[in-house]
Structure 1
Amino acid sequence: MKIIYFIIYLSLKIYKKTTKISHNITWKNKIKKLIKTKGAKKLTNTQVAEINTYYNKYKLKGISTQWHQFYYGCNQFFSPKYMPENLFYIDIEPRLNQKIYFPSLTDKNILDKRFPNVKQPETIIKNINGFFYSNDELIDERKALSLCDTGNELVIKPTVDSGGGKNILLFNCKDGVVDSGQKLRTVFKDYGKDFIVQKIVQQHEQLKALNPTSLNTIRIMTYLNENKVDVLSTIVRIGRKGSSTDNATTGGISCGIQKNGQFNTMGYQLSGESFRATDSGIKFEDVKLNFMSKVLETVNELHQEAPFFKIISWDLAIDKDENVVLIEYNVMGQGINSHQLNNGPVLSPLLKILESQL
């Protein structure tokens, strides 16, 4: 029996080691491609030494300096405190967030139950494991199709494994046919199961002006630190002209937001390309959101209701009446590049937590 346990233990250890190696190769290839695309110059020997000295304090050796090279090449702000993606995704995020509760607790179909005290988009129907629901009542597909046949613009999206704006579709349905010419029943079939249909959020005029065709959201990364919630970084995510999504992975632009609501001067794509203005011609430095205190209060309250995850990225919209609207929250694979490109080495406080757990 002891031999069997030993074999299982050894197999798990080998699996974890090979997985880590595989992931490191993935991040290594990614940063090489980003540097090549951006044409970021190599760091000086002094800068490399500064990075190694900083990470040695946390007993972390062999840290890739290529991420520092990329960030510095993009925003012209050098710091040894930038965090490489592989370190965050392999060592930090899994330690701080309990994977056993992912993705079940982040399913968009239960978001209203998880956070009942914050406004959310109005839901028309839910599909949970293939079953249709409306107002918490089990319904058949025929009823679900009828409820969505409004002639008004709606959005359908997956509720699990749905990051990066994947498979989000805006549509109007009349007499069972959506504006693309497809039957709504076929659209449902394409999504399979675990999806949600909601009304479009009528967003605040300031955010809408950034790009009228997309829901432009505020992403805030928070850390649940003993008896308080720390805000690590805040950015706004803006779609490109004609795009219906604001996600950076689909070409959107992000810009850092200061605590007082003032936008930074520059915005960035994930490629590192910088922008001073949106496609609609609004300069970032001319924008200040007067409702940021309300937004920060909201994420402070929300994170205290989600202690299973110590670090969370919240996606929030602001409606036309200046209400904060929760769109989703991210706990695994939450992007860090947009935060560091816009706001610098904002993740450095997490290294102290990692050090205490090593």
Structure 2
Amino acid sequence: MIPKHQREGFKVFLKDKRKKTYPKIIKEFLTLWRSKKELPLYYFKYLYRSDITNIEDYLSTKEAAKIQKSPKLHRMEYMAIMSNKLVFSLFCKQNCIPTPELVSYNFGSNFYFKNECFKISKNKELQSFFYKVLVDSQKDRLFLKPFSLFGGKGACIIRKSHLEEDIKENMDLLLTNDYIHEDVLNQHEDINKINPSCINTLRIETYIDKNNKINIMNVFMRFGVGNNIVDNGHSGGIYIGVDRTNGKLKEVAMEEAHFGGRDFYKHPNSDYPFKDFVVPFFKESCELVLKATQFLPDRYIGWDVAITQDGPIIIEANEFPDLFMSDTAYGGYLKNPLLKEILAEAS
């Protein structure tokens, strides 16, 4: 059974005027089938475009899965820290790694704040809890995300000024899931010029090589679109490569195929051009990730880094980073000289 997102992506391919001729597509598809030893359905997500001439430089589905799931690259003990947002927040605090302030949290209907447990079943009780949290912590808003957040799904914002409305909208979700409640970051003013609707993050991927050296493999940046409160590509956001030597954005941002697969030279809401925009605190962001990897030495991690007025803050670490985004943002990840070593190590 072909997943829904792949079916939607194939519909985009059929309508896309950027595609190569059908004889060329058939030839390249068969070439990849032989060389990669798998049915290359991933070809129809991006590689069919007429401007993509280096199809062999892109990761196959099997190669990406090999990196993501290799027991030689990942240890269960480290992955357990990354996969649970509460554990990861406490881990960062313990090691003085800057991360959003953890204000409160909940396990289903049990809510926790300042060493107290509040058992909640009614709307008014939940309103009272968050009113107390917001007043006592002197916050106007809280960003709530599930312990096992993926793709931005389930995240929400609770506002003191719209407390009744926000609780009504999110109560059922909160009472049936486990959430951490964090301070809402103040994003750097330069990034707000591009998109102020959410925190837009750098994705920085690290690899610890066979000589125990930490390498930054790739960097790209993600931007939310519309009124979305998250920047994730799986939630309709867009992403763009970053030049690792100077922190400048590349020229074109991309969109996941099942959302339309469009290219953007400017942000669709602000019309701010991407090309040559210099990410604030880029060097410091890379240094922060290298430091964090020393404390969490899983061999391949995708770090999400937000940029505030005061510098970078790590939002989360991803044990299964989306290598398709990294691959396309890089322009063919297999051009990276370390990728062959990674694939060999992952085998």
2:105 is matched with 126
Listed as ranges, the gaps of 5+ residues in structure 2 are: 120-124
1:237 corresponds to which of 200, 222, 233: 222
Take 1:356 and 1:152, find their aligned partners in 2: how far apart are those partners?
A: 48
- CA drift of 1:211 comes to 1.0
SS in structure 2 of the partner of residue 76 of structure 1: coil
Amino acid at match of 2:200: N
- CA drift of 1:77 comes to 3.3
Tell me: CA distance 1:178–1:75, structure 2 relative to 1, closer, same or farther (3 Å): farther
Amino acid at match of 1:249: H
Tell me: CA distance 1:121–1:350, structure 2 relative to 1, closer, same or farther (3 Å): same
2:306 is matched with 317
- CA drift of 1:144 comes to 4.3
2:238 is matched with 253
- CA drift of 1:76 comes to 2.0
Number of positions where the alignment pairs a residue of Structure 1 with one of Structure 2: 320
1:111 corresponds to which of 73, 82, 88: 88
2:122 is matched with none
Take 2:174 and 2:143, find their aligned partners in 1: how far apart are those partners?
A: 15
Take 1:140 and 1:181, find their aligned partners in 2: how far apart are those partners?
A: 19
In the TM superposition, what are the counterparts of 1:123-202 in structure 2 within 5 Å? 123-128=102-107, 131-134=110-113, 137-141=115-119, 144-150=129-135, 152-160=140-148, 162-173=149-160, 178-180=163-165, 182-183=167-168, 187=171, 190-202=174-186
1:303 is matched with 293
Take 2:285 and 2:184, find their aligned partners in 1: how far apart are those partners?
A: 20
Tell me: CA distance 1:196–1:285, structure 2 relative to 1, closer, same or farther (3 Å): same
Take 1:198 and 1:274, find their aligned partners in 2: how far apart are those partners?
A: 33
1:8 is matched with none
Instruction: Determine whether 1:342 maps to 2:329.
Output: yes
- The answer (yes or no) to whether the contact 2:281–2:307 under 8 Å persists in 1 is no
Listed as ranges, the gaps of 5+ residues in structure 1 are: 1-21, 56-60
- The answer (yes or no) to whether the contact 1:239–1:251 under 8 Å persists in 2 is yes
Take 1:36 and 1:310, find their aligned partners in 2: how far apart are those partners?
A: 39
SS in structure 1 of the partner of residue 228 of structure 2: coil
Take 1:153 and 1:245, find their aligned partners in 2: how far apart are those partners?
A: 15
Instruction: Determine whether 1:81 maps to 2:50.
Output: no
1:264 is matched with 250
Take 1:253 and 1:75, find their aligned partners in 2: how far apart are those partners?
A: 21
Q: Could you say which structure has the greater relative contact order, defined with CA pairs below 8 angstroms and 6 or more residues apart?
A: 2
Tell me: CA distance 1:270–1:243, structure 2 relative to 1, closer, same or farther (3 Å): same
- CA drift of 1:62 comes to 1.4
Amino acid at match of 1:222: T
Instruction: Determine whether 1:36 maps to 2:14.
Output: yes
My pick for the range that moved more, 271-280 or 335-344, is 335-344
My pick for the range that moved more, 124-133 or 265-274, is 124-133
1:93 is matched with 68
Tell me: CA distance 1:198–1:220, structure 2 relative to 1, closer, same or farther (3 Å): same
Take 1:357 and 1:236, find their aligned partners in 2: how far apart are those partners?
A: 26
1:214 is matched with 198
In the TM superposition, what are the counterparts of 1:40-51 in structure 2 within 5 Å? 40-41=19-20, 42=22, 43=24
- The answer (yes or no) to whether the contact 2:83–2:318 under 8 Å persists in 1 is yes
- The answer (yes or no) to whether the contact 1:118–1:324 under 8 Å persists in 2 is no
Q: Structure 1 residue runs of 4+, over 6 Å off?
A: none
For 1:62-81, what per-residue CA distance to the aligned partner results, in whole angstroms no more than 9, with x for missing partners? 14445356433458233212
Take 2:89 and 2:195, find their aligned partners in 1: how far apart are those partners?
A: 27
Amino acid at match of 2:191: L
SS in structure 1 of the partner of residue 292 of structure 2: helix
Instruction: Determine whether 1:353 maps to 2:342.
Output: yes
TM-score (norm 1): 0.77
Take 2:173 and 2:195, find their aligned partners in 1: how far apart are those partners?
A: 31
- CA drift of 1:164 comes to 0.7
- The answer (yes or no) to whether the contact 1:71–1:340 under 8 Å persists in 2 is no
Take 1:63 and 1:258, find their aligned partners in 2: how far apart are those partners?
A: 32
1:292 corresponds to which of 271, 282, 285: 282
- CA drift of 1:139 comes to 2.9
Tell me: CA distance 1:352–1:75, structure 2 relative to 1, closer, same or farther (3 Å): farther
